[in-house]
Structure 1
């Protein structure tokens, strides 16, 4: 279900269940978390095989859950999304085709989200009497604002790549998500990790600023030769 391809600077993690639009089971979620967490590369590219990015949770699994098992399945998805967000690597979601429900939520957990012109996004759970519970009601408003989040989650409608860009769900529309991963990976790995940590820090502003200054000092101390060389160019 999960395929991994390693290059020196980029690990590509592919959701590979195209016959089910890359819908995820319990084991698929666990394998995805392991594939991202185990990466030694500074950048991980998350993508889907075939015509879809990810349809979210496998509905054949969901249909057989009782209440306690449903809670556990939601918590499992939340844990995986949090592990993606907390990964040492910068994680890029390259959405090509349909992202639905949990697929949107996994993309929201990534550090950078880009879409191809064929990408579409929707939270259609309300049409089935459920909703996206892998952190979607937390991350979606943070990314697009409460109004846009409620519109998507309550209507179940799909939006195309242009609308997703307009609302801030993705940062770019590109032909090749891999090119974005390579662009990021061309930068200093330590600086990438520090920037990710600083931007994702949810502490009080004064605490963030102190940590920012300290992190900047650490990077300057370790990169002095490179900084001096660039000044001489």
Structure 2
């Protein structure tokens, strides 16, 4: 269900259940959590096999859950999203095809979301009497703004790659989303490791500015005698 391959400085973590549009079961979430946690490369590329990125939670599983099991399933999805968000690697979501519900939520936990022209996005849970509960209500308004988040979540409508780009849901539309992961990986590893958590917008402004100063100074010291040489 989850396949990992390493190419140089990039680990490609692939959701490999194309007949179910890469929908995730509890076992699939555990496997994804373990795969992300095991990566030691500076960049991770999360992608889907086949015509979809990820359809989110497997509704055949969700439909049979008790209330207590549903709470545990939501907690499991939230934990996996936090594993992605807290990874020391730069995590790039390479979205080619449909991202729905929990698939959008997992992408929101990544550092970069890059779409192909064929990518589409929707929070369709409201159409089924549900809503995404893998951290989407926290991350979606933070990334696209409250107005866009309300529109997407309350309407359940589908947006294409270009509209997703305009609202900030993705940062780039390209024919080869995985190429962005390789592009990032070509940069200095230490700089990536220092910069990524600073951009994550955690803590107070004062704390973040302090961390920014300290990380910058550490990199300058590391590159002493090198910077400025042509």
TM over 0.5: yes
What stretches of structure 1 of length at least 5 have no aligned partner?
none
Residue 8 of structure 1, CA deviation = 2.0
Equivalence for 1:232: 229
1:23 lines up with 2:23 in the alignment: yes
Q: Deviations over 1:169-198 (max 9, x none)?
A: 000001111210111001111111111111
1:6 lines up with 2:3 in the alignment: no
- Give the length in aligned residue pairs: 230
Residue 201 of structure 1, CA deviation = 4.1
Equivalence for 2:113: 113
Distance 1:83 1:225 in 2: 37
Distance 1:115 1:84 in 2: 18
Distance 1:194 1:215 in 2: 6
What stretches of structure 2 of length at least 5 have no aligned partner?
none
Distance 1:201 1:114 in 2: 20
- Aligned-pair Cα RMSD in Å: 0.8
- The 5-angstrom pairing of residues 1-233 of structure 1 reads 1-227=1-227, 231-233=228-230
Q: Counting helix residues as a fraction of each chain, which structure ranks higher?
A: 1
Residue 232 of structure 1, CA deviation = 2.5
Tell me the TM-score normalised to structure 2 length: 0.98
Distance 2:51 2:207 in 1: 44
SS in 1 for 2:4: strand
Q: Deviations over 1:96-120 (max 9, x none)?
A: 0000000000000000000000000
Query: Deviation above 4 Å: which 4+ runs of structure 1?
Result: none
**Are the equivalent residues in 2 in contact too, given 1:37–1:88 (CA < 8 A)?**
no
